[in-house]
Amino acid sequence: MIAEMREALQPVLSAALGRDVEISEPVLLAGGASKEAWSVDAGDERLLVRRAAGGVIHRHTLTLEDEFAVLQAAYEAGVKAPRPYAYIPDLSGREAFVMERLEGDTIGRRIVRKEELARAREALPVQPAGMPGAAARAELASMPGAAAKSAKTLAHKRAPAARVWPARRD
């Protein structure tokens, strides 16, 4: 499985980055009930590949193409989010997209229990404060229908205090 993923990713990531790159062995990360998350390095780029895992949890779930469009619009509007690189309509038979990989934990029960994350938990209620305004600046017209609807909903609602937003690195 890993060898096949590496073989499939090599040309896709070179195309996404606009140059030939050697990639590391992809690592399938834990978590994700309906999507796979693969960690891979391409040259000096640290990447995460989100790929459909074959099913959806809810019928209104965004496609990965729509999710990529929302991420791209949010990132371009200044929302603290990983940098999106490319949408891949077919990565070994399933849709996927590539984005910047940020270090950290994404499993909620670990975030609320790990002592070393106590300071980060204190910052969580204020981190999303500016997100609705930045999301409102996103170019909704460039998004497919479902993605635009999701972005508009985000832009017009207050961000929930308990939501973990990934930090953007510049």
Record the pTM: 0.74
Higher pLDDT, 33 or 51: 51
At 80 the pLDDT is 84
CA separation, residue 10 to residues 2, 14, 38, 84 (Å): 12, 6, 13, 18
- pLDDT tens per residue across span 99-119: 999 988 777 888 899 999 898
Q: What are the residue boundaries of the structural domains of the chain, listed by start? A: 2-156
- Domain covering 2-156 assigned CATH 3.30.200.20 in the classification: yes
- pLDDT tens per residue across span 60-90: 778 899 999 999 998 998 888 899 999 999 9
